[in-house]
Structure 1
């Protein structure tokens, strides 16, 4: 490509040049013929002080820019450098906007040229990246970024990234380039300037397309290559018991598969227990200590058993990271360990998969697309060249992209089966076909439970299962058996069905009928839908007002919550809410009746074309989605089941209808017992945290396992906790008086800062509330006057959980990660990545959390002790999860500090310590503990 580009980056004193912000450094790189040919770099004197946070971010000080040229003195040279070139930046709106504004202040003009935003280009061409921040992009692409947030280094990296993206663009199939040239109009970058020469070259010269890509119905997708990686089967298949020595011996398959193999007695014990439970058709609870190697401990006997009975064994996980670990690491290890071949398949909920038929259809409608929709369509076009699974979890979508996904995700209602030309290539059906012939099926708790309640099974018939992360099974079941709705979800269903939009279900229905020569009168449905939309707006506004007036409990994300019993609430406002809900039922039923009758009439024709079938299928989805929302409002407001808890959540600072309705079963033990455990021959449940004070009774009670003679077993961790860890309980921590005790917050901040400053190591601080986390974070930030500590706070530092963890891993020593909720588990930070863990409060669930409060009330009514039978066990399991973040390998060393005095001052406090592995516990003033601890480290 012969074009010339200038890649530019600016460092500035702020974001708004019209309000006094100024450029302090310019970095520019010229790219020609696929390589860097020239550079321009200079500091700029802004003639004002550089704010401390800018110095902290960039490393640029007032001394660096003192004596540097003024902007006017370098502006002409910069414009000369840019002359005749396309403009490239990582976030064009900022760099171009700032430079243009400062040039205009000096009476100069930004050149008229094409522009390319490498953030947007990366989103499109690298749709699976976790982050599009420059430093994280270049790191994931193995580019050496020496000085992030310095203009010359950032420009160099952006140029390298731009060249990488151009190279990828060159290798796209012609049909993909042609389609992209249509849908990228209206994006920030001038994509057409890149596409046109490439399209022309591919059309006018002979070129071979990638063998790994096929073009079908004007879409280029990754070709499915059927691999036969099965090993030659032995003449005689040996059972798990017969193969023990072949697996575990000194020259066994385990020793060969692992570079530094070390036999773990606990792992071997767990394998035998899983095998025995399967063979004996027994349910089992197995608590496997950290480091046991539990994934392989259940995968090996599962594979043997599946092979023996020639039926699949289902493996269910709760979190995506564990599912990814199984796919990327453990299943490959399993293959190298087993003396026979094994077929595995991954199956998720249908909405995770892209429906190629729907995507083909929406690609023909681009005129009215928003920026987010165009961007998402472009992302999916590139992703189709790379994906084997069509799983949305591979994609990094914007919030608008996630909404768009709802229109192209797979679903059972619109499945055309044999009438769908995409059927053989359908991602969902491909996954199901793989699962039908698999020995091991990897799925998640949500799909497992969906399969339990649906008559048309999603999973192939199975009788044996392993549930990993089993401490989440109750929560997953509660979520699954619950009902919810919101203004946004109801509004989305209304817009899909009607509201006069060109692509709505009603308009499509009228077009299909007209093409068939039918006359439909849907005026009644359209009028009813208009009235219903008004009622939905009013309903959620009234519920919002009601919740803010009655509710006084704040959720983790800052919403106000209120538990209600629909027919027990008093006042004219609630009566108006119920009347409005009844009107919604009336207008909803009228709409559904007319639209369903019209749908039935138009779908009766025997010789329907593919296009008509596809349109009718989409109409059916819109009807089903709308019906589900109408039914949800009925169940939530006009019905009452005393086995459920009902509540409202409202955004106090959000829109007047930013309201959510929920209902969940108070307990799921009976449903799990009757609909799951009674239907399966053997279910093995495992986790590192199933016991409370060495007893499984809490899990047996909550999961409904009393009548099944469930086997229980604890497999000890191979770690030497008494040598690898110490547990410290400072005695000079004030007792907390209420959730917002300022004295407690200040004292904790001082202690966290003192530990981090003295140790200069990485620490994780776990909280039970966002509010306290933020307060402590800012106190520690104030104490850290020299900015020697790298502070990363959930909800304070921008980014997802994954991004915060990545920042923490990449940080130098003396970093503190402040986390709550999800940070208590699923984090693997071995060695120097984490050496100190601080638990601010014992993790009791908030008593005002709706489901928890309902469970407490039910426990009282059934004669149980709500604290000892419910609240305490929940907190202990959570505590053990947090505790387990520290020691991850036999080489790890660490210290845990607990700042909640209740662990020593209450009778129940002993339960927390007794539930842990044997670890030395020390109590005393913090300074004394630190002195003992550091002395202890020196002895080591």
Structure 2
């Protein structure tokens, strides 16, 4: 077994060796038998100037390399180290390509030995890492990384990373290694020999199988099912005693009157079978405020309580932070389970069958199969949220995720181990079921019961309910849904299930199936052609109708309905719809015949063949569902729903998305949800408008139920912790053109940043304005002044952008949409919040426009009853980003003078906690701010 690895890192003048970029520093660390045995590092004279960007990144300047050896002088040392070794690097091809070019230019042979890429190996083995940059992995594993972007330090850290990875690889079960082996041939790393040696080594030893479950040639982590306790408990609700216990359990915990009131109100609402709306300001501790009384009530009544959140982060916080604390302070045991929609879970049947399917023999698919084999030895949940999959991996996930359409249920040998069904059984035996709004309202809509039967539910982040219910009782489809389904069925000869069915009839006699498959093979391309033409025509229709609003970014929306019937082009589109529906109908009949013929010979089919046919029937069901959605969206337009298209102005010719949503959801919620539950507790930091809950009770259909309401104030001293400033010399956007407006706000943001030293979150209501301001800001600030992050500009999720923002002292984060809420940046990492414009929904938003029209037709005031309350709630969410703890201080700038100059603007201020408002010229405000910050 070759146990010698040479870990190399190079710093360079750029990233293109073929264009003359050179090495300026090299670090090498030799690892043998998982121990570092040798180190080498040296600066290298590149004989060309080091660019300023590289100097800033690495800290290496021309002076430091002036007297360093040339590469040809260090080449023999490196080549001697590499002899008979693996060449290891973090992103191995980068370092290797540079060295190969340098070796060749120095007159030496290129390296021809085996390679190991620690990025690739980390992707396979460290599935829950936040990212795979060297610094991120060092943080994840607790490896000290003293000098990032210095070759000696990077090589050292990569060596320790390699040792961790090899150690983890050696601990994998023999069977897992054997199942991984076929997928390693497409990897950049030469893993076959390492895995092969481990297989030989492990084959000669008796493995410790403790904690592992071996089944059907796969290795899973063992699990213990939750047993339901059938007895109700005699429990007394005593908030004071419980909060005292809580203060002993939680560090820095302070008893809060608002939290105690919330606990009492939640318990009383459940006991009296009443619904409730509770606005709990930041710092009240609402999670504990509802968890404690709901668990006590549920145990007393011996029935489950459902807790629904909007974000995965809050679900994780409840499960990982709050529930363990409660288990320590409560005098009785209880079970809590997180249950998500089934598409979040891996289907073991599909995954098992995918391992023997080599039709998609590409890098991404092979890598993802190897990742999932490792993951099965570690996961209790089987939940995709645990994985950090690349885009190619996400495509493969769609093939192996659980779904109802192709589930074999009790007939499946994996049923007892199925992650989704395990979760459902755990939920049935749990006292607390934590879910998300999407699944909660899917359960309301679905005929099949998705959640355990429940009578009491807590809805946290309840300000999202209207939007989520609209989504779930709405309908949507798009061009790509249809093309993916047709591809998976097999309109391409080289892939899809039709090809696998042809292979099936070579081994099993299924009379009559071949002519049906031939018919399907003929109908698939015809259906695809008709679908292409329909979606292309819709896109042309939208772009023609919306010429005036087209721009380079994002999607163009077009709301359609009665007025379109007069258009000849619309009539042509409807004729195309008929052809598509007819073609998909014929295809559906042919697809149905396949399963009918196969059912007659079911006893002759093995498990894999039955699974293939189940998947085929599942795709048929999905295609039928999408066909019916298309019919509804284009043939059944009605006045109770809003219908619209979205197209990519600069996208593919048939990139079209179709949507419908109910205009009003209040009656639906009243009849299908609130009337059927004993107690629904809705809570959030933002439910009231001008200290009234009328907007929310009306929108959600609670008017007739007389819900209990409470506005529980935050314990924070906002008047002392927050400065609220409105500059009077920033123009309103309608007073100047957008270019002038952007130039002004970019300059003012720069002025503020110099006072606050960055640590600033800037919230926009428009993606275009964010991009333009980001660009102008970057142009007026020196490169080393501030570190800028822009949503939609810098890659990464909201969580990743927030994490990167926290890493730098003088950082500024430009955000829109999702950054108005749900991000948590306590302490000194954030001391300045800038709100560019009051967050009114654009009036041409299809749903908002339809709701406004309905309100107006009923004699209401759309602005006062809809637009303004929505904007105030969003504004409160944005304001809440700044102060997250009692020790936080900071400043909020609002660049929109309407907040102080209009009557409705004052409604935004009165909806906030008491905080003094300062108006004035920016120069004067900044002088005042500078003094305040120096005293804080």
Same fold, judged at TM 0.5 (above)? yes
Distance 1:539 1:22, change over 3 A: farther
In the TM superposition, what are the counterparts of 1:820-899 in structure 2 within 5 Å?
820-899=816-895
Aligned match of 1:434 in 413, 426, 431? 426
Q: Which residue of 1 aligns with 2:769?
A: 772
CA distance in 1, matches of 2:844, 2:57: 41
Contact 2:759 2:828 in 1 (8 A): yes
Q: Which residue of 2 aligns with 1:352?
A: 344
Contact 1:762 1:816 in 2 (8 A): yes
Distance 1:210 1:750, change over 3 A: farther
* Counterpart check, 1:462 vs 2:454: yes
How far does the alpha carbon of each residue in 1:712-744 deviate from its partner, in whole angstroms, 9 at most, with x for none?
110111111111112111122122237962222
Q: What secondary structure is seen at the aligned counterpart in 1 of 2:399?
A: helix
Aligned match of 1:692 in 668, 689, 694? 689
Q: Which residue of 1 aligns with 2:220?
A: 221
**Alpha-carbon shift at residue 624 of structure 1 (Å):** 1.1
Contact 1:508 1:619 in 2 (8 A): no
How far does the alpha carbon of each residue in 1:667-693 deviate from its partner, in whole angstroms, 9 at most, with x for none?
322221221111111101000001111
**Alpha-carbon shift at residue 547 of structure 1 (Å):** 2.8
Distance 1:392 1:786, change over 3 A: closer
CA distance in 1, matches of 2:661, 2:65: 61
CA distance in 2, matches of 1:239, 1:817: 48
Aligned match of 2:721 in 724, 727, 744? 724
**Alpha-carbon shift at residue 612 of structure 1 (Å):** 3.6
Q: Which runs of 5+ in 2 are unaligned?
A: none
* Counterpart check, 1:27 vs 2:27: yes
CA distance in 2, matches of 1:396, 1:107: 43
Q: What secondary structure is seen at the aligned counterpart in 1 of 2:586?
A: helix
**Alpha-carbon shift at residue 2 of structure 1 (Å):** 4.1
**Alpha-carbon shift at residue 103 of structure 1 (Å):** 3.4
Contact 1:274 1:684 in 2 (8 A): yes
CA distance in 1, matches of 2:61, 2:129: 33
Aligned match of 1:711 in 708, 711, 716? 708
CA distance in 2, matches of 1:835, 1:679: 46
**Alpha-carbon shift at residue 767 of structure 1 (Å):** 1.2
Contact 2:602 2:610 in 1 (8 A): no
**Alpha-carbon shift at residue 295 of structure 1 (Å):** 0.5
CA distance in 2, matches of 1:870, 1:65: 65
Contact 2:560 2:645 in 1 (8 A): yes
Contact 1:345 1:434 in 2 (8 A): yes
Aligned match of 1:583 in 565, 571, 579? 579
**Alpha-carbon shift at residue 892 of structure 1 (Å):** 1.3
Q: Which residue of 1 aligns with 2:406?
A: 414
Deviates more, 1:838-847 or 1:599-608: 599-608
CA distance in 2, matches of 1:6, 1:740: 59
In the TM superposition, what are the counterparts of 1:552-571 in structure 2 within 5 Å?
552-553=548-549, 558-565=554-561, 568=564
Q: Which residue of 2 aligns with 1:247?
A: 242
Deviates more, 1:462-471 or 1:924-933: 924-933
How far does the alpha carbon of each residue in 1:895-936 deviate from its partner, in whole angstroms, 9 at most, with x for none?
111111111122211011110000121111222222222323
Q: Which residue of 2 aligns with 1:816?
A: 812
* Counterpart check, 1:528 vs 2:523: yes
CA distance in 2, matches of 1:928, 1:349: 53
Q: Which runs of 5+ in 1 are unaligned?
A: none
CA distance in 2, matches of 1:627, 1:244: 54
Q: What secondary structure is seen at the aligned counterpart in 1 of 2:734?
A: coil
Contact 1:636 1:646 in 2 (8 A): yes
Q: Which residue of 2 aligns with 1:664?
A: 661
* Counterpart check, 1:804 vs 2:801: yes
CA distance in 1, matches of 2:771, 2:221: 46
Aligned residues: 931
Q: Which residue of 2 aligns with 1:157?
A: 157
In the TM superposition, what are the counterparts of 1:230-629 in structure 2 within 5 Å?
237-240=234-237, 243-248=238-243, 252-366=244-358, 368-499=360-491, 501=493, 504-509=496-501, 515-520=508-513, 521-522=515-516, 523-551=518-546, 552-553=548-549, 558-565=554-561, 568=564, 573-605=569-601, 607=603, 609-629=606-626
Distance 1:380 1:567, change over 3 A: farther
* Counterpart check, 1:702 vs 2:695: no
How far does the alpha carbon of each residue in 1:48-93 deviate from its partner, in whole angstroms, 9 at most, with x for none?
3333333332233333333433333433433233222211111123
Deviates more, 1:257-266 or 1:692-701: 257-266
**Alpha-carbon shift at residue 187 of structure 1 (Å):** 1.4
**Alpha-carbon shift at residue 106 of structure 1 (Å):** 4.3
CA distance in 1, matches of 2:153, 2:818: 35
Contact 1:566 1:638 in 2 (8 A): no
Q: What secondary structure is seen at the aligned counterpart in 1 of 2:333?
A: coil
**Alpha-carbon shift at residue 105 of structure 1 (Å):** 4.0
**Alpha-carbon shift at residue 107 of structure 1 (Å):** 4.3
CA distance in 1, matches of 2:72, 2:505: 68
Q: What secondary structure is seen at the aligned counterpart in 2 of 1:21?
A: coil
Distance 1:70 1:350, change over 3 A: same
Q: What secondary structure is seen at the aligned counterpart in 2 of 1:737?
A: helix
Aligned match of 1:903 in 883, 899, 905? 899
CA distance in 2, matches of 1:554, 1:328: 46
Contact 2:755 2:930 in 1 (8 A): no
Distance 1:570 1:38, change over 3 A: farther
CA distance in 2, matches of 1:901, 1:49: 51
Deviates more, 1:162-171 or 1:731-740: 731-740
Deviates more, 1:139-148 or 1:636-645: 636-645
Deviates more, 1:64-73 or 1:21-30: 64-73
In the TM superposition, what are the counterparts of 1:12-51 in structure 2 within 5 Å?
12-51=12-51
Distance 1:102 1:541, change over 3 A: farther
Q: What secondary structure is seen at the aligned counterpart in 1 of 2:919?
A: strand
Contact 2:17 2:97 in 1 (8 A): no
How far does the alpha carbon of each residue in 1:298-321 deviate from its partner, in whole angstroms, 9 at most, with x for none?
111110111121111110000111
Contact 1:138 1:144 in 2 (8 A): yes
CA distance in 1, matches of 2:251, 2:17: 58
* Counterpart check, 1:64 vs 2:56: no
Q: What secondary structure is seen at the aligned counterpart in 2 of 1:37?
A: strand
**Alpha-carbon shift at residue 455 of structure 1 (Å):** 1.4
Q: What secondary structure is seen at the aligned counterpart in 1 of 2:725?
A: strand
Distance 1:421 1:303, change over 3 A: same
Distance 1:668 1:513, change over 3 A: farther
Contact 1:766 1:819 in 2 (8 A): yes
**Alpha-carbon shift at residue 462 of structure 1 (Å):** 0.7
TM-score of the two chains, using structure 1 as the length reference: 0.95
How far does the alpha carbon of each residue in 1:640-698 deviate from its partner, in whole angstroms, 9 at most, with x for none?
12222222222233332232222222232222122111111110100000111111111
CA distance in 2, matches of 1:441, 1:561: 38
CA distance in 2, matches of 1:618, 1:728: 59
Contact 2:591 2:617 in 1 (8 A): no
Distance 1:599 1:509, change over 3 A: farther
Distance 1:17 1:599, change over 3 A: same
Q: What secondary structure is seen at the aligned counterpart in 2 of 1:452?
A: helix
* Counterpart check, 1:649 vs 2:646: yes
Q: What secondary structure is seen at the aligned counterpart in 2 of 1:796?
A: coil
**Alpha-carbon shift at residue 493 of structure 1 (Å):** 0.6
Q: Which residue of 2 aligns with 1:170?
A: 170
Distance 1:554 1:430, change over 3 A: farther
CA distance in 1, matches of 2:67, 2:504: 73
How far does the alpha carbon of each residue in 1:794-823 deviate from its partner, in whole angstroms, 9 at most, with x for none?
2222322111111122222x2211111111
